Amino acid sequence: MANLNLGSPKLTPPKILSLGFLLLIAVGTTLLCLPVSSTTGRIHFIDALFMATSATCVTGLAVIDTGTQLTTFGQIVLLVLFQFGGLGFVTMATLITLVLNKRISLKERLLLQESMNQNSMQGIVLLIRRVLLYSLVIQLSGAVLLAARFMLDMPLGKAVYYGIFHSISIFNNAGFDLFGDIHGPFSGLTRYVEDPIVNIISMLLIFLGGIGFIVMADVIDFRKRRRLTLHSKVVLTTSAVLIGLGAVIFFGLELNHTLKPLHAGGKVMASFLQAITPRSGGVTTIDIPLLRESTHFLLILLMFIGAAPGSTGGGIKITTFAILASAVYARLRGREDIIMFRHRISKDNVYRAITMTLLSLMLVVIATMLLSVTERASFLTVLFEAVSAFGTSGITMGLTPELTMIGKMLVIILMFVGRIGPLTLAYALKPKKSKELYRYPEGNITIG
């Protein structure tokens, strides 16, 4: 990693992270614009920019079909982008540094701390090493299992390639797939809706990529430490509740609709996958436009919440949602303190959660209003697209390929801010150590 003057206000960690993602997007756009990347001659610049941003921000929204309109070279460009984008370019740069056996400086540790959303630099390099090891093992295992399944449908070489591509894509919550080449453009995994192997592996990859590397390391160390951190408890519990509740509601809403033709096992698998994928997974086995409006709104809520901090997913993060829900519960019970797993949550964390949520909500509302003007689609379809882009979820009701030029630019901005915004806000909202010299008198405002 190059030495970075983080002491300069012009090169703060959030700015370096933002510039790094912009650089990845610029390189990816340039490569996708080359004739060698397209099966149809040359990709339009705005489409190449959209695809590069979607891959780098691990979103999965696509204006062109990955399986039919991109060559193997173009597909590999996307693969590299969402691998770097998912794990973070800082983490990948650290891997190169470790391979070259170079020392990681204090300035670079500060950047790693920010990229992993950590409160301390202690053990940050060890954490990065473990992140890289866990990611490699999980993605390799997923690739082998998926390749073994795909061998039943295609030649060995193609099955291996598909296994590697989809394992990396799903684990990094990117949501890109190549099955348009086999089942038709933008078909996704709909042909595997009742396939237990594809469904279970996909759900595990999305879940592991979405809980965050901090939680993953904590769970692996559970045998030694015999306890989990508060962060891990909140992430795992909230994830289980959201997935379980989401699957039950999805099952109830779609039982006599899109799930009706499926067998009992297929209905259960489809419900759970569709409850997990809004965490930022982006892969679906059900045709999203065919769902009920109530189910669409359920997915919008799940996409807005998103995955865990320090993961490959987006959204406001499930810890933010958990803190807000606990704050509401404490207020309804008349309690002053917010208690989670016998720990009191600081007011600073509550303020940060409120600020994060309101800023995210304002961004989605403004983007939805603008898209409602530029696009010829229903309000729910536009809202779904905006939340999917912000939450880097990558599922769509079919609007993405039909976006206007202005609409594509708006969604590009949403994807970028959705990926970068939470990191930048988390850094900007950290409490300052300086003590206020005076306080204003307390005032009362009537609420409710």
Domain ranges, ordered by start, for the chain: 9-428
Computed over every residue of the chain, the mean pLDDT equals: 84
At 445 the three-state DSSP class reads: coil
Point out the least confidently predicted range of 122-136, 271-285, 338-352, 427-441.
427-441
pLDDT tops 90 at residue 186: no
Query: Structure tokens of 375?
Result: 């696009």
Distances (CA, A) of 371 to 98, 224, 382, 409: 44, 51, 6, 10
Cα distance between residue 205 and residue 46, in whole Å: 31
Q: Are 233 and 225 in contact (CB under 8 A)?
A: no
Query: Structure tokens of 67?
Result: 């399986």
Cα distance between residue 124 and residue 93, in whole Å: 14
Query: Structure tokens of 376?
Result: 């010829």
Query: Structure tokens of 20?
Result: 């790094």
What is the band of 7 on the pLDDT scale with cuts at 50, 70, 90? very low
Distances (CA, A) of 90 to 1, 16, 108, 251: 8, 9, 9, 40
274-277 long-range contacts (CB < 8 A, ≥24 apart) are 274/246, 274/247, 274/250, 274/299, 275/242, 275/243, 275/244, 275/245, 275/246, 275/247, 275/250, 275/302, 276/203, 276/206, 276/207, 276/210, 276/243, 276/246, 277/175, 277/206, 277/393, 277/395
What is the percent of the chain with per-residue pLDDT over 70, rounded to a whole number? 83
What is the band of 371 on the pLDDT scale with cuts at 50, 70, 90? very high
pLDDT tops 90 at residue 159: yes
Please compute the mean of the pLDDT values over residues 219-228 and round it to a whole number.
Answer: 81
pLDDT tops 50 at residue 4: no
- DSSP label of 343: E
At 438 the three-state DSSP class reads: coil
What is the band of 172 on the pLDDT scale with cuts at 50, 70, 90? confident
Q: Which residue has the higher pLDDT, 7 or 317?
A: 317
Query: Model pTM?
Result: 0.86
